[in-house]
Amino acid sequence: MKNRFVLVVFSVAMLVHAAMAQKPDRSAPPEPGSAPEFSVTAIQKFTLPNGLPVFLLEKHQVPLVQINLMVRAGTAMDPAGKSGLASMTALMMKEGAGKRDALTLADDIDYLGAQITSIAGQHAMAVRLQTPIERMDPALALFADIVLKPTFPAAELARKKTERLTALLQWRDEARTLGSIALNRTLYGDQHPYGIPSVGTETTLRAMTRDDCAQFHATWFKPNYAALIVVGDVTLKEMRQKLGAAFGSWKSGKGSAPALTAIKQVAGREIVLVDKPGAAQTEIRIGRIGVPRTTPDYYALVVMNTVLGGAFSSRLNLNLREEHGYTYGASSAFDFRPLPGPFLAASAVQTAVTDKALVEFMKELRGIRESISEAEVERARNYVALTYPSDFQTVAQIAGQVEEMVIYQLPDSYINDYIRNILSVTKEDVLRVARQTIDPDNIVVVLVGDKKIIEQPVKALDLGPIVGKTIDDVLGPAPVLEDKK
Amino acid sequence: MKQVLLLFLLLPISAAAQETKLSVPYSITTLPNGLTMILHEDHTTPTIAVNLWYHVGSGSEKPGRTGFAHLFEHLMFEGSGHVPEGKFDELLEKAGGENNGSTSTDRTNYWINVPSNALELALYLESDRMGYLPDAMTKDKVDGQRDVVKNERRQSYENRPYGMAGIILDENLFPPTHPYHWPTIGSMEDLAAASYEDVLEFFKKYYVPRNASLSIAGDIDPRLVRALVEKWFGEIPGGAAVAPVDAPPAFLAEEKRLMMEDKVSLPRLYMAWLSPRMFAPGDAELDLLANILAGGKNSRLYKRLVYDLQIAQDITSYQSSSALASTYMIIATARAGKTLGEIERVIQEELDRIVKEPPTRREVDRAVNQFESSYLSRLESVGGFGGKADQLNAYYVMTGNPDYFNEDLARYRAIDPQDISGYAATTLRNDARVVLSVVPNGKKELASGSAKEVKPQ
């Protein structure tokens, strides 16, 4: 095997310096100078003749390209009684397209060394391609087939249904998954798409047909709901031609989204205890309804959450992990969506200290409303703002940032203004948004753990009524999968 | 400095060979105290990655102290001589930095990503814990992180479905005297026994410049960085050289058939073998084999078990390569009502088939093309786990050449399909493997074949 020559750079001056080896002054940490400027070259935009907008960023360091096609429809558009349809449609788009059946399609993608994923979020779906630039043309042809000409074979749907029902069975084993589902269900109810698992239920999955998928795709995969995002080792000129050839004949159309039930904020406190006998830890999820992504307080909320539970030195992690050793980590987050997504604080704690951990959670949720120091705000602000440039290293990262801009119709200057917007958040802003959004008197507390050990100590805290739930209550009865031929 | 995203083409494409030549230019220096320093410039974003490897992992632990190298890793974030407890993270967060560390059988790595203006802060913090950790160590800190690590074990192993299977497999693949026999996370009993004195002893022996390599990649001026590294690390005494971990070659002389109950709904089958150590002959061939068997919908095992027969929910195959030895795994979860026995029969048929006749050219090319793409995406980030700084350090430690990217990939490009069958025959033997059935509690009869029951500790 050929070995590369190892370049040894050894400066004589450095040797002399080292020989004298004076100790550096460690009495104070070196102060960083002013932060480096960061900006992204302009996003180049053009529109194909059929109205499909294209957002393109050239990035030439590595010979790769990322091409994302997104549509503004997702699991929130599942028709009544058909939960799981959007996410199944996304999955099925890769199970046969154009002239290729599922196996040929997968084999051809793998042969190119390309990756194509297809997923559904609540309000957007995306088909994403990453490929070495030298194989872009054949990869783009497969990608366009998946977007435009999925075939939805009935036999493939039958396979995917069993796979999903089996996954629903496996979820019963996972305390983390149970915790998240129980919290969403309690916050949003059984009628709102945010409240039910987006993969669907046994009933809706069994009733789903290939025509349902085909119709969902035909309704929402239209250029007037779509955008293309291209990041990588390409130029605008070549991509205008290639994308025009691949997507230019795509025709517009009109879909109608189902009306959604109103979202109601939590009133009072409710403790949901899901029994998981023998669990070594209790999964804690504390939540309430958060705020939509479009809120003018977005930047203040990001900074506030960083202080509370969004960084290692956040209050929740320092308290529950570093001070008390109850857990491997504790955190909080706002799940920002077009409609108010959940705010949640979460941890997995040793079973025996579940009650003590809850006391500390409540203390921190109360504390963030009461006072906050300038030093905490400065640290959180800098952490969010100054780590931001490192989110622009890979073509997939950059395309993801642009996806967010498209979904929320953020201004062109969004990326280049981000750091300044975060750095201008004040202590007063942070305290104000904490008081508006964090309210430990009106929350849902979900505990997934060993009921016989944790119930009495938690009851003694007198936080509110405890509703005992079984795994069946959270997920429905276990799917019946054996011998249903 | 003004940073934009449009800079250099680092990777000229060789048109003649139709093969992308990977290159990560670097310089390497050894400080007088023995610390190795690797530098690489990449100005894509104004970010610098500082990546430090100590050449000690769980493989160096003493009996009765399993999990100690990892517990020690946790203590490295709890303050040092000039950095009070909590300040390590606070100072970095305030500067827009991120950090983490990890422990494997062979090494412990630490990384700090900072905006390029905060490099000196990162070097100050990293050098202070290399030079002055004991000055700030207390029994309370050891106790505190002991509790955190016990919860890490609960979260990542005990309370996770099938979470104890990997520990059982290593215990049975490697003899008790082999450093890969015990888990990096350690046993609860040994974690409880770890003492303050152990911390001081471990630090003195292993956390010395001569036993470390520092890799710095990103938006750097190499001349400036060399001077800063010299300033902050130069004063630290080099320490004694650490002898490499000495272990007799591991081998299995039998098939072990085991069964374990767990809080799971579906049974899962694990088949595990010992395989050649990282970069040894056979290592790359077995990586390709794993892709041919279970990478993608048209791979052999996925197609038969999941797609055609629909008796498995999932199938995974991979080789986990390490310095002293590697392990090769095939893992499948049964669909409801299907048995691990029928799954194992199909896997065995496919293993027998690939031993007899080599994979097709297309199967091999399909796998190699996927490897090529993954090597390209590995060149995008400078920091964190698996970023360029980490990879340069890994290649340096394993091969002596930090920029081993192209040589590494060339191994896969050069493989003859017949060699894949050859290494499958010598490695994936029926008479030298561990077959573990993890079954739902109370359903021991679901194990594949006759199996000896094991209980995780």
The domain segmentation of chain B, as residue ranges, is 27-233, 255-453
Q: Region A99-103: what's the mean pLDDT?
A: 98
> Which chain A residue shows the shortest CA-CA distance from B382?
A393
CA separation for the pair A131, A138 (Å, rounded): 10
Do domains B27-233 and B255-453 share one topology? The answer is yes
Q: What percent of chain B has pLDDT over 90?
A: 93
Q: Residue B298 and residue A103: Cβ atoms within 8 Å? A: yes
Domain shared by A163 and A297, yes or no: no
Q: Is A243 on the interface with B (CB under 8 A)?
A: no
State the complex-level ipTM.
Answer: 0.94
Q: What is the DSSP letter of A32?
A: P
- Decide if pLDDT at B4 tops 80: no
Q: Is A159 on the interface with B (CB under 8 A)?
A: yes
CA separation for the pair B96, A379 (Å, rounded): 8
Q: Region A169-187: what's the mean pLDDT?
A: 97
- Decide if pLDDT at B171 tops 60: yes
Q: Residue B8 and residue A60: Cβ atoms within 8 Å? A: yes
What DSSP letter does each residue of B236-274 carry, written as one string?
A: S---PPPPPPP-PPP---SEEEEEEEES-SS-EEEEEEE
pLDDT digits (tens, 9 = 90+) for B290-334: 999 999 999 999 999 999 999 999 999 999 999 999 999 999 999
Tell me, what's the pLDDT at A483? 60
**Minimal CA–CA distance to B282: which of B94, B443, B434, B412?**
B412
- Decide if pLDDT at B117 tops 50: yes
CA separation for the pair A353, A324 (Å, rounded): 10
Say if A131 falls within a structural domain: yes
Q: Is B91 on the interface with A (CB under 8 A)?
A: yes
**Rg of chain B's alpha carbons, rounded to an integer?**
24
- Strand A44-47 and strand A53-58: pairing? antiparallel
Domain shared by A93 and A206, yes or no: yes
CA separation for the pair B280, B395 (Å, rounded): 14
The token pair at B234 is 């130069």
Q: Indicate the burial class of B221 (C-beta count within 10 angstroms; 0-12, 13-18, 19 or more).
A: middle
A447 chain-B contacts, CB cut-off 8 A: none
Domain shared by A164 and A307, yes or no: no
The token pair at B300 is 């052999």
CA separation for the pair B32, A66 (Å, rounded): 45
> Which chain A residue shows the shortest CA-CA distance from B116?
A36
Domain shared by A305 and A214, yes or no: no
Q: How many domains are there within chain A?
A: 2
Provide the CATH number for the domain around residue A435.
Answer: 3.30.830.10
> Is residue A50 within 8 Å of residue A223, measured between CB atoms?
yes
- Best interface-test mutation with A: which of B151, B160, B265, B385 has the largest number of A CBs within 10 A? B151
Find the CB nearest B159 among A26, A279, A313: A279
Q: Residue B45 and residue A392: Cβ atoms within 8 Å? A: yes
Q: Region B252-271: what's the mean pLDDT?
A: 97
CA separation for the pair B208, B210 (Å, rounded): 5
- Decide if pLDDT at B1 tops 70: no
Q: Region A235-263: what's the mean pLDDT?
A: 94
Domain shared by A213 and A335, yes or no: no
The token pair at A460 is 């003694």
Query: How close does chain B come to A176, measured CA to CA in Å?
Result: 9
Domain shared by A242 and A311, yes or no: no
Domain shared by A344 and A275, yes or no: yes
As a whole number, the mean pLDDT across chain B is 94
Q: Is B318 on the interface with A (CB under 8 A)?
A: no
Residue type, A183: L
Say if A18 falls within a structural domain: no
Say if A333 falls within a structural domain: yes
The token pair at B445 is 């009869």
Q: Is A112 on the interface with B (CB under 8 A)?
A: yes
Domain shared by A347 and A383, yes or no: yes
Query: If contacts are CB pairs under 8 Å, which of residues 253-292 in chain A contact chain B?
Result: 278-281
- Decide if pLDDT at A427 tops 70: yes
- Best interface-test mutation with B: which of A27, A39, A57, A62 has the largest number of B CBs within 10 A? A62
To the question of domain B27-233 being in CATH 3.30.1370.140, the answer is no
Query: How close does chain B come to A485, measured CA to CA in Å?
Result: 12
Tell me, what's the pLDDT at A21? 59
Query: Which backbone phi and psi does A469 adopt, to 5 degrees?
Result: -135, 150
Q: Region A220-235: what's the mean pLDDT?
A: 97
Q: Is B6 on the interface with A (CB under 8 A)?
A: yes
Angle among Cα A318, B121, A10 to the nearest 5 degrees reads 140
E strand segments, B153-304: 212-218, 255-262, 268-275
pLDDT digits (tens, 9 = 90+) for B144-169: 999 999 999 999 999 999 999 999 99
**Rg of chain A's alpha carbons, rounded to an integer?**
26
The token pair at A276 is 């998981």
Say if A388 falls within a structural domain: yes
CA separation for the pair B164, B186 (Å, rounded): 12
Query: Could you give the 3-state DSSP secondary structure of residue B113?
Result: strand
β-bridge partners, B273? B328
Q: Region A95-116: what's the mean pLDDT?
A: 98
Q: What is the DSSP letter of A478?
A: P
Tell me, what's the pLDDT at B10? 37
Q: Which residue in the block uniquely carries the two structure tokens 């669907």?
A: A200
The token pair at A423 is 């750095």
Tell me, what's the pLDDT at A482? 75
> Is residue A337 within 8 Å of residue A187, measured between CB atoms?
no
- pTM of this prediction? 0.94
> Is residue B311 within 8 Å of residue B335, measured between CB atoms?
yes
Q: Residue B116 and residue A393: Cβ atoms within 8 Å? A: no
Q: Which residue in the block uniquely carries the two structure tokens 């001056």?
A: A13
Query: How close does chain B come to A339, measured CA to CA in Å?
Result: 30
pLDDT digits (tens, 9 = 90+) for B358-408: 999 999 999 999 999 999 999 999 999 999 999 999 999 999 999 999 999
Find the CB nearest B32 among A15, A104, A172: A15
Interacting residues of A456 by C-beta distance below 8 A, sequence separation 6+: none
Query: How close does chain A come to B450, measured CA to CA in Å?
Result: 24
Query: If contacts are CB pairs under 8 Å, which of residues 182-201 in chain B contact chain A?
Result: none
pLDDT digits (tens, 9 = 90+) for A304-352: 999 999 999 999 999 999 999 999 999 999 999 999 999 999 999 999 9
Find the CB nearest B46 among A4, A36, A60: A36
Q: Residue A107 and residue B297: Cβ atoms within 8 Å? A: yes
Domain hosting residue A279, numbered range:
270-409+416-475
Q: Which residue in the block uniquely carries the two structure tokens 């199938």?
A: B315
Tell me, what's the pLDDT at B21? 86
Q: Residue A387 and residue B97: Cβ atoms within 8 Å? A: yes
Q: Residue B148 and residue A321: Cβ atoms within 8 Å? A: yes
> Which chain A residue shows the shortest CA-CA distance from B295?
A110
- Decide if pLDDT at A5 tops 50: no
Interacting residues of A253 by C-beta distance below 8 A, sequence separation 6+: A218, A219, A222, A224
E strand segments, A234-366: 270-275, 281-289, 327-334, 342-350
CA separation for the pair B261, A66 (Å, rounded): 44
The helix (H) or strand (E) run that includes residue A456 is helix A451-460
Q: Is A327 on the interface with B (CB under 8 A)?
A: yes
Say if A311 falls within a structural domain: yes
Tell me, what's the pLDDT at B18? 55
> Which chain B residue shows the shortest CA-CA distance from A480?
B336
CATH classification of B255-453, choosing from 3.90.1170.10, 3.30.830.10, 3.30.1490.190, 3.40.50.720?
3.30.830.10
Domain shared by A194 and A58, yes or no: yes
As a whole number, the mean pLDDT across chain A is 94
Tell me, what's the pLDDT at B377? 97
A162 chain-B contacts, CB cut-off 8 A: 310, 335
Q: Which residue in the block uniquely carries the two structure tokens 């290494």?
A: B423
Q: What is the DSSP letter of B61?
A: P
